[in-house]
Amino acid sequence: MNAYRPDLADAALTGQVIASHYADPVDRVTASAATLRASGSEDGEPIRELSAGEPFCLLDDTLGWAWGYAGEERRVGYVRSEALTTV
């Protein structure tokens, strides 16, 4: 449930996890319904469906996949970049 990978972690986790870099999340919302996945691929295991207008805290956006967390439960995963828009 915490947003961290070896190369990047949520700045709120500084001092709690080890990562190469830390970033402050950027607020986004889903422009359309989307699937939050465990990896940045259409083959990635689905974690949950995101509704249009749902908040998403963006930490990384690379090669068409946005990584961050969504929902009140702060589920961490990947969503297609084009599914997100600015708040």
The Cα–Cα gap between 50 and 83 comes to: 10
User: How high is the pLDDT of residue 1?
Assistant: 76
Per domain, the residue ranges of the chain are: 9-86
Rounded to two decimals, the pTM is 0.93
* Top-confidence residue, 1 or 8: 8
pLDDT for the residue numbered 49: 97
Residue with tokens 């083959």: 43
Task: Report CA dihedral (58, 12, 5, 8) to the nearest 10 degrees.
Answer: 70
Q: Are 68 and 59 in contact (CB under 8 A)?
A: yes
What pLDDT, on a 0 to 100 scale, did the predictor assign at position 71?
Answer: 84
Please determine, looking at this structure, whether the domain spanning 9-86 carries the CATH number 2.30.30.40.
yes
The tens digit of pLDDT for each residue in 24-76 reads 999 999 999 999 999 999 999 999 999 999 999 999 999 999 999 998 889 99
